[in-house]
Amino acid sequence: MTSTFKGLLAGVAMAIFALPAYSRDITIDLAGEPSSLDPHVQWNPDSYYVYRNVFDNLVTRNNSGEIVPQIATAWDQISETELVLTIREGVSFHDGEALEPSDVVYSVKRITNPDFASPQLGQFNQIIGAEVLEGNKVKLTTNGPYPALMAQLVKLSIVPEHVVEALGKEAFNAAPLGSGPYKFEEWNRGISVTLARNGAYWGDSGVFERAIFRAVPDAATRLADLQAGTADLVVSIDADAAAQLEGNPEVKALSAPTERVGYVGLNLDKPPFNDVNMRKAASLAIDRLGITEGLLQAGEVPMAQMASPAHFGYNPDLPLFDYDPETARKITGENPDLAQTPATLATAPVFDQRIVQAVQQMLNDAGFNISISMTDMPTYLNIVRSDPADNSELSFGRWSCACQDADGISYPTLHSDSLWSRVNVPELDALLEKARVSLDPEVRQAAYNEVSEIVRENYYLLPMYQAAVLYGAAAELQFEPTANESMFLNRMSIAE
């Protein structure tokens, strides 16, 4: 009896000491519902914020932006086209099954399979081979040299082959299972996604027992939730909202410049923007400086290219677009029937609608006939990835590759084989392909310089600004925003 009692006491003591020093839930208000929780099926902020905590990636970036190990603990470029990665041992998926090098190979082949049609395909399609090697290693083979490979592998999530194959694509998306610091618990469609801490995680699992990601499209409601204490962190606030937090000791605003570029996409196959003069008029009508300084006011910088200073491949010498509404009106006035062709500007709640409305007003003031089409994020994504005949005439977007290399932003938005591109220009394709395979940084930079100049001269799309990210947070929440806009729960804490 005494021995049993002592054993029970010891068990209780061990349980007590095994608990984390601090334990509570965290509630995060997103601008929209995730469109997918399968990391290979989607790439948008609201999905990324959630699934990146469920899955480990091959490698990751620390808060300083350096590429550091995650599932791969080491890597060796053994030739211009072969990269060998050492896979971390002792990692388990959330069902207890071990993560094996074969799961890494499976994940690579899944996301690079053209028939799978991943929206991220353009960022990984230089990988043409993946195989398991002895010694817990995996070899990746690329179609020629690919200097951006490590930067792209930051985004490659590892999925469990045994689960994906057993469940199928749709069921896996509904109940994703990874190896990350948090486990999927519940998806209440249209309302929230709940994750639970993975106590068996190989690394730091973080301090929060659960994370509740809520879909709150209305920015004013997100702000009110934060101020009322019903949300700990809210995304996509603007400078006006950040100013409202000043003076309240219970909350704070957090910000950082990002690698994301805000831009207006143009359908080059439908009037009026299949005409270069109409595209020029649209560009001249948009006051980029007025939007960044008058509306955004959070450190955004006007851009004339699909890259920012956070990217390799940024051209610091490219002049900004001119703002000349008078000339814009003159151009549209010379061909009023074409300019007045009804055109739709596609958008979604995750974007700052003040910008969308400002762009609409500026274009209409210049003689265009633009209406706004607001849809939920999944519908918006389907629109902007559809065939030109079904696509909107314009769309507002903010592109980030989370890779800090122009290959991850210029290739998907400008290359003709990308699902996201509405541009089909052989000269651009050749330059983008040259930049992505050269091992000479000077050759790559020169190619990207030429790409940005061609896009600027022909107005193939209209870059607007380098975005800054603004969050609202509870005062005690310790969270460091980063350029790649990651929201790692296990890097957050509560100030004591």
Domain boundaries, the chain: 55-160, 258-468
DSSP structure class, residue 409: H
**Which run of H or of E encompasses 142?**
strand 137-142
- Cα dihedral 322, 324, 329, 334 sign: negative
* Residue type at 100 in one-letter notation: E
Query: Quick one: how far is CA 184 from the chain centroid?
Result: 20
Does residue 113 sit in helix, strand or coil?
coil
User: Helix, strand, coil shares of the chain as percentages rounded to 5?
Assistant: 35, 25, 40
Only one residue has tokens 């000491």, namely: 17
Task: Report the amino acid identity of residue 319.
Answer: P
Q: Each residue of 258-295: b (16+ CB within 10 Å) or e?
A: bbbbbbbbbbbebebbbbeebbbbbbbbbbbeebbeeb
Q: What stretches in the chain show pLDDT beneath 70?
A: 1-23, 43, 402
CA-nearest of 10, 47, 54 to 31 is: 47
C-alpha–C-alpha distance, residues 384 and 307, integer Å = 20
C-alpha closest to that of 441 among 400, 416, 406: 406
CA 19, CA 15: separation in Å to the nearest integer?
A: 7
**Tokens standing for residue 191:** 């309302």
CATH number of the 55-160 domain: 3.90.76.10
CATH architecture of the domain formed by 258-468: Roll (3.10)
How do beta strands 462-474 and 251-266 pair? antiparallel
Q: Which helix (H) or strand (E) holds 68?
A: strand 67-69
What pLDDT does residue 257 have?
A: 82
Query: Can you say whether the dihedral through the CA atoms of 147, 150, 153, 154 is positive or negative?
Result: negative
Tokens of 340: 């007045």
DSSP designation for 57: B
Closest CA to 222 of 234, 209, 205, 207: 234
